[in-house]
Chain A
Amino acid sequence: MSRTLSEKVWDAHVVRHADGEPDLLYIDLHLVHEVTSPQAFDGLRLAGRKVRRPDLTIATEDHNVPTLDVDKPIADLTSRTQVETLRKNAAEFGVRIHTLGDPDQGVVHVIGPQLGLTQPGMTVVCGDSHTSTHGAFGAIAFGIGTSEVEHVLATQTLMQARPKTMAVTVDGVLPDGVSAKDLVLSLIAQVGTGGGQGYIVEYRGEAIRALSMEARMTICNMSIEWGAKAGMIAPDETTFAYLKDKPHAPQGVDWEAAVEYWKSLATDDDATFDREVVLRAEDVAPFVTWGTNPGQGVPLSANVPSPDDFDNPNDKIAAERALEYMGLTAGTPLREVKVDTVFLGSCTNGRIEDLRAAAGVLAGRKVAEGTRMLVVPGSGRVLLQAESEGLDQIFKDAGAEWRGAGCSMCLGMNPDQLAPGERSASTSNRNFEGRQGKGGRTHLVSPLVAAATAVTGTLAAPADLEPLDVVVPENV
Chain B
Amino acid sequence: MDAFTQHIGTAAPLRRSNVDTDQIIPAVYLKRVTRTGFEDGLFAAWRNDPAFVLNQPEYEGVSVLVAGPDFGTGSSREHAVWALMDYGFRVVVSSRFGDIFRGNSGKAGLLAALVEQDVVEKLWATIENDPGTKVTVDLEHKTLSAGDISAPFEIDDYTRYRLLNGLDDVGITLSHEADITAYEATRPAFKPATLPAKA
Contact = CB atoms under 8 A, between A and B. Distances in A.
B193 A55 contact: yes
A227 B73 contact: yes
B22 A434 contact: yes
A333 interface: no
A79 interface: yes
B81 A54 contact: no
Given A39-B34, A147-B104, A227-B98, A412 B194 contact: no
Interface stretch (B6-14, B84-92, B138-146, B169-177): B169-177
B45 A197 contact: no
Given A129-B74, A197-B96, A314-B68, A56 B158 contact: no
B192 A116 contact: yes
B150 interface: no
A127 to B, nearest CB: 6
Contacts of A117: 192, 194
B69 A194 contact: yes
Contacts of A411: 22, 27, 75
B23 A432 contact: yes
A134 to B, nearest CB: 12
A432 B170 contact: no
Interface in B20-57: 20, 22-23, 26-28, 30-35, 45
Contact of A151 (B75, B98, B173): B173
Given A42-B35, A54-B195, A261-B188, A434 B26 contact: yes
A151 B180 contact: no
A144 B100 contact: yes
Contacts of B183: 15, 26
A129 B100 contact: yes
A16 B170 contact: no
Contact of A154 (B27, B81, B156, B174): B174
Given A15-B180, A194-B96, A317-B17, A438 B108 contact: no
A81 B197 contact: no
Contacts of B169: 147, 151, 159
Contacts of B172: 159
A472 interface: no
Nearest to B48: A438
A413 B28 contact: yes
A327 to B, nearest CB: 15
Interface stretch (A168-176, A248-256, A264-272, A354-362): A248-256
A197 B69 CA distance: 13
B22 A161 contact: no
Contact of B194 (A58, A122, A127, A317): A58
B96 to A, nearest CB: 6
A321 B45 CA distance: 14
A113 B32 CA distance: 29
B173 A146 contact: no
A351 interface: no
Tell me which of B18, B108, B156 has the highest count of chain A C-beta atoms within 10 A of its own C-beta.
B18
Given A147-B169, A151-B170, A16 B176 contact: yes
Contacts of B184: 26, 156
A430 B157 CA distance: 32
Contacts of B18: 193, 292-293, 318
A81 B184 CA distance: 36
A269 B55 CA distance: 57
A433 B49 CA distance: 14
A161 B158 CA distance: 9
Nearest to B182: A15
Interface in A149-166: 150-151, 154-157, 159, 161
B99 A47 contact: no
Contacts of A453: none
Contact of B45 (A52, A317, A318, A434): A434
A38 interface: yes
A229 interface: yes
Contacts of B187: 26, 28
A433 B22 contact: yes
Contacts of A15: 176, 179-180, 183
A148 B190 contact: no
B100 to A, nearest CB: 6
Contacts of A39: 33-35, 78
A24 interface: yes
A247 B198 contact: yes
A279 interface: no
B161 to A, nearest CB: 9
Contact of B180 (A55, A146, A155): A155
A49 interface: yes
A150 B171 CA distance: 11
Given A147-B108, A254-B189, A432-B20, A79 B31 contact: yes
Interface in A185-241: 193-194, 197-198, 224, 227, 229
A197 B99 contact: yes
Interface string B133-173: 00000000000000000000000111000000000011011
Contact of B190 (A57, A131, A250): A250
A177 interface: no
A341 interface: no
B157 A20 contact: yes
B192 A250 contact: yes
Interface of B: 16-18, 20, 22-23, 26-28, 30-35, 45, 68-70, 73-79, 81, 96, 98-100, 103-104, 107-108, 156-158, 169-170, 172-174, 176-177, 179-180, 183-184, 187-195, 197-199
Given A24-B173, A128-B75, 11 more contacts: A16-B179, A26-B187, A47-B170, A76-B31, A159-B173, A227-B73, A257-B189, A413-B31, A432-B20, A432-B23, A433-B23
15 contacts: A26-B187, A54-B195, A55-B193, A56-B194, A64-B31, A144-B100, A145-B81, A145-B100, A145-B108, A147-B104, A155-B174, A156-B184, A193-B18, A314-B17, A412-B28
What are the 7 A-B residue pairs with the smallest beta carbon separation, nearest first? A147-B107, A145-B104, A145-B78, A413-B27, A38-B33, A143-B76, A258-B190
